[in-house]
């Protein structure tokens, strides 16, 4: 009986080896899946930050032209014009880099009183799993879109002297705030831009 027991044990040993190897493989595979998910979450955070930074930069650059348009009675035409995106993508790249990712695409989309800024990013760190072929070059790729939305439509316009020149714009905004802008002495853009325009992430 002892000889048969030792023989059974000898036959079972390769099975144990295969089982242990299989469990190790599964452990590494689950680790690779978890790492890939974590890297994607990090890249999504970088994309979100980059899109918001680009949209906020466009909103800030919009200010001088917005205020300059007021004396010429061209407010409606100006608000229907697209935002200027001169430094928006530069800001997006800066934020992506700060979050260990790089920009692969950056572009605006225009709509009446609703512009969008979309960025796409890829992470810098690969999954690099020892049991999943090709992952040494696989990086997380994702994107985000930020909306720039004018939330104070149809301002009340006052012409005190009846000379055809608009003396005061009164904006009543969807957030309940009221903004008054006198073309002769406009307020600093930084004090009104966040009230006039909402910047937020939206589904792509």
Q: What is the pLDDT along the chain (204 residues), one digit of tens a residue?
A: 455 555 555 566 566 555 655 555 555 555 556 666 777 888 999 999 999 999 998 888 877 666 666 655 556 555 656 666 778 999 999 999 999 999 999 998 887 667 889 999 998 887 655 545 555 677 788 999 999 888 887 788 888 888 877 788 888 998 889 988 887 787 888 888 888 889 999 986
Do residues 103 and 93 touch, judged by C-beta distance below 8 A?
yes
Residue 93 confidence (pLDDT): 93
H or E stretch covering 26: helix 2-69
Residue 195 lies in a domain: no
Residue 59 confidence (pLDDT): 86
Residue 171 lies in a domain: no
The angle that helices 189-196 and 2-69 make with each other, rounded to 10 degrees, is 120
Domain that holds residue 20: 2-149
Residue 94 confidence (pLDDT): 93
Buried b (16+ CB within 10 A) or exposed e, 160-183: eeeeeebebbebebeeeeebebeb
R_g over Cα of the chain: 29
Residue 138 lies in a domain: yes
Residue 14 lies in a domain: yes
Residue 173 lies in a domain: no
Residue 139 lies in a domain: yes
Our count of domains for the chain comes to 1
Residue 53 lies in a domain: yes
Residue 119 confidence (pLDDT): 95
Distance separating alpha carbons of residues 177 and 164, to the nearest angstrom: 27
Residue 164 lies in a domain: no
Best CA proximity match to 117, nearest among 96, 142, 147, 90:
147
């Amino acid at each position: 009986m002892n000889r048969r027991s030792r023989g059974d044990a000898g036959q079972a040993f390769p099975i144990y080896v295969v089982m242990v190897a299989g469990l190790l493989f599964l452990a590494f595979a689950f680790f690779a899946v978890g790492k890939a998910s974590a890297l994607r979450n990090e890249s999504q955070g970088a994309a979100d930050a980059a899109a918001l930074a680009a949209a906020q930069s466009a909103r800030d650059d919009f200010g001088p032209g917005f205020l300059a348009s007021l004396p010429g009675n061209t407010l409606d035409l100006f608000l229907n014009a697209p935002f200027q995106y001169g430094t928006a993508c530069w800001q997006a790249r800066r934020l992506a880099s700060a979050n260990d990712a790089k920009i692969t695409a950056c572009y605006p989309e225009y709509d009446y009183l609703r512009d969008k800024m979309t960025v796409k990013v890829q992470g810098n760190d690969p999954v690099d799993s020892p049991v999943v072929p090709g992952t040494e070059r696989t990086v997380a790729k994702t994107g985000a879109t930020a909306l720039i939305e004018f939330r104070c439509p149809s301002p009340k316009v006052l012409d005190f002297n009846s000379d055809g020149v608009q003396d005061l714009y009164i904006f009543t905004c969807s957030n309940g705030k009221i903004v008054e802008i006198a073309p002769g002495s406009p307020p600093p853009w930084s004090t009104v831009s966040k009230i006039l325009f909402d910047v937020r992430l939206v589904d792509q």
